[in-house]
Structure 1
Amino acid sequence: MERLPPLNALKAFEVAARTGNFTLAARELGVSSAAVSQQVRNLEAYFGKQLFLRIGNRITLTDAGHAIYPQTARALGDIATVTSRILEGEVRTRLVVSVPFSLAEHWLTPRLGMLLAEQPRMAIDIRVEDDPIDMARHGTDVRISYGDYHYPELVRVSLLHDDVLPVCSPEFRRRLDIDTGDIAEVHDSVFIHTNWGPNYASHPTWSEWFAAQGSALRPDPSRGRRVGLSSLAISAARLGLGIALGQRVLARADIEAGRLMALSSASIRLGQPYCAFVPPAKRQRSDVVGLIELLKADTPDTPFG
């Protein structure tokens, strides 16, 4: 640890400089004015600088005193704030969670709601960003990623391996009179295609879904509706804009509420699982463990901790 000046002397100096009087400083500190004066002399001896000009009962800061007072007052104020919070039981660790765009609203947020229901005073910071991120630099506690390969130096927990299936709004199905067994009969313009971006090559497509059903149909993305996020595909389908090849985990709440319906039970799996990454030093933190337990609810056999 770096060398520190005597803290009692530093406190006496701060109070004397703030009040401008040894007597007032002594009253605030609950000691004699002579004791305050002695502590200030100790600090002056430590620095080898005169910190006050003494003019009768009045004191004013010297140039050296002005140089150290602002930082001293700030540091002592920070210590006082932390002490007060600890004594009042108000210190809370902030849980910093980083998540891809698509999972933020439809998957992560409801689970954070469950966590906050159990710990309503927990402080949480949700950051929506693409891989890779610098977890150490930005103080991230948990990173949720598509794929299990981004952060080999961190603790990895598999959360779920999602699949996709055709979904649309009930009103849209009625309007187009779509038979749940005859999706291949609809026009190419009805299909909602998700563009996962240039960093991904393992995402499922409508062509792959039809091929898995033994169909040669290849819907043309240029003739349909295209969106840049899988969560946006779910929202577009819910609003009646077409049929999305939607992720089950993102569509689940809308299907259960009747805002979406599955046009087929046939699905295909995503190319990669979703995983949580945690710095080894943080793996035992109670808020991190609590969040991971909620997030891996779909795969309860996955160990963590």
Structure 2
Amino acid sequence: MSLKNDRSPLPLRALQVFESASRFQNFTTAGGELGITQSAVSRKIAELEAILGTQLFRRSGPNLSLTPQGKALAMRVTYALGDLRRACAEVQPTKGSSIVTLSMLPSVAAKWLAPRLGLFTDLHPNIDLRISASRDLVDLNAAQIDGAIRYGTGRWPGLAAVWLGAETVCPVCASSIVEKFAITTPADLLKAPLLHADIAEDWAAWFSAVGLEEPKVPRGPKLGDDTAILQAALSGQGIALGRSQLVADDLQAGRLIAPFDVKLDASFSYWFVSASDPSKNLVTVRDWIVQEFA
């Protein structure tokens, strides 16, 4: 099938799967949202790429990102599907579900929100919560987003910001890494592969906090998204500087361990932002998120 004219049938299911995958930039999380497997998501994306004759995602190990063509398509598809959802909501009885759309970082969506979605649905079955995951600072009005979880200083002109919580940063890894490199002191971390991120709290700052001044920090993979960094740590690829809000569940479940107690205070905090006059449903979502962060 090709899309060379306006009468060509649209691959609607593949576009729906692409829209979810583009928001999360993670096939497993997208599959969870859609109720299908990761491999099914991958097949649909491959099908859409074949139809369009262009690559939509770049794949580099655990890291997934949109190509320029993928970004352009994602923007249009997100708006189109949003319009369709709103059109459907408008013709439903008023007692039906109400859509609330939130924007947040892919890492927050995958590591913090996704494990809690069932709790929210159980408490508020009449609110249809939709997530737009993006590393870009989304214009809420232009993108027709109701609210957002943002990571920053709390100052966004024209928006009301409610503080959710701060966080700390410390080394985390799989237990196999500790055993493999016989890690017993902070200096032992220099023997292991270190994973690097684009956050202000870097390895040099952490080693300085434990008294190792100007250590020769080994170079290692730098992954821009925390989801990819933590997945690499979970699979035993190295040691990451984990942000406490994103690694709490993995630490509690024993999937990751924190070899040392020394933590850095993060430069930024999490905030819930919205217009100054949020809807009743958005207030419900906001209050639930505030409670979960607390």
With structure 1 as the length reference, what TM-score do the two structures score? 0.62
The match for 1:110 is 115
The match for 1:130 is 135
Pick aligned residue for 1:162 from 163, 167, 181 = 167
Pick aligned residue for 2:288 from 287, 294, 302 = 294
Q: Is the 8 A contact 1:189 1:225 kept in 2?
A: no
Q: Is the 8 A contact 1:160 1:298 kept in 2?
A: no
How far did 1:288 drift? 1.8
Q: Partner amino acid for 1:106?
A: K
1:246 aligned onto 2:242: yes
Name the SS of the counterpart of 1:151 in structure 2: coil
Pick aligned residue for 2:271 from 269, 272, 275 = 275
Name the SS of the counterpart of 2:161 in structure 1: strand
How far did 1:268 drift? 0.3
The match for 2:193 is 190
CA distance in 2, matches of 1:207, 1:298: 32
1:99 aligned onto 2:104: yes
Q: 5+ unaligned residues in a row in structure 2: which ranges?
A: 1-86
| CA RMSD, 1 decimal | 2.6
The match for 2:182 is 177
Name the SS of the counterpart of 1:260 in structure 2: coil
Pick aligned residue for 2:157 from 148, 152, 157 = 152
Question: CA offsets per residue over residues 28-71 of structure 1, 9 Å max, x none?
Answer: xxxxxxxxxxxxxxxxxxxxxxxxxxxxxxxxxxxxxxxxxxxx
CA distance in 2, matches of 1:186, 1:84: 57
How far did 1:297 drift? 3.1
The match for 2:229 is 233
Q: Partner amino acid for 2:151?
A: Y
Question: CA offsets per residue over residues 130-189 of structure 1, 9 Å max, x none?
Answer: 34322112221111111134522111101111111111111221222211xx13124455
CA distance in 2, matches of 1:187, 1:211: 13
CA distance in 2, matches of 1:286, 1:134: 21
Aligned pairs, how many? 209
Q: Partner amino acid for 2:215?
A: R
The match for 1:211 is 208
1:3-14 equivalence runs, <5 A: none
- Structure-2 change in CA distance of 1:164 and 1:82 (3 Å): closer
How far did 1:218 drift? 3.3
Q: Partner amino acid for 2:264?
A: I
Q: Is the 8 A contact 1:188 1:224 kept in 2?
A: no
- Structure-2 change in CA distance of 1:280 and 1:178 (3 Å): same
Q: Partner amino acid for 2:280?
A: S
- Structure-2 change in CA distance of 1:291 and 1:216 (3 Å): same
CA distance in 2, matches of 1:227, 1:131: 16
- Structure-2 change in CA distance of 1:82 and 1:270 (3 Å): closer
Q: Partner amino acid for 1:185?
A: D
The match for 1:24 is none
Q: Is the 8 A contact 1:191 1:224 kept in 2?
A: yes
Q: Partner amino acid for 2:289?
A: L
Q: Higher mean Cα deviation, 97-106 or 119-128?
A: 119-128
Q: Is the 8 A contact 1:206 1:218 kept in 2?
A: no
CA distance in 2, matches of 1:194, 1:249: 16
Pick aligned residue for 2:259 from 256, 263, 271 = 263
- Structure-2 change in CA distance of 1:82 and 1:134 (3 Å): closer
Name the SS of the counterpart of 2:93 in structure 1: helix
CA distance in 2, matches of 1:113, 1:270: 29
Pick aligned residue for 2:93 from 63, 85, 96 = 85
CA distance in 2, matches of 1:131, 1:204: 20
Amino-acid identity (%): 26
How far did 1:105 drift? 0.3
Q: Is the 8 A contact 1:111 1:295 kept in 2?
A: no
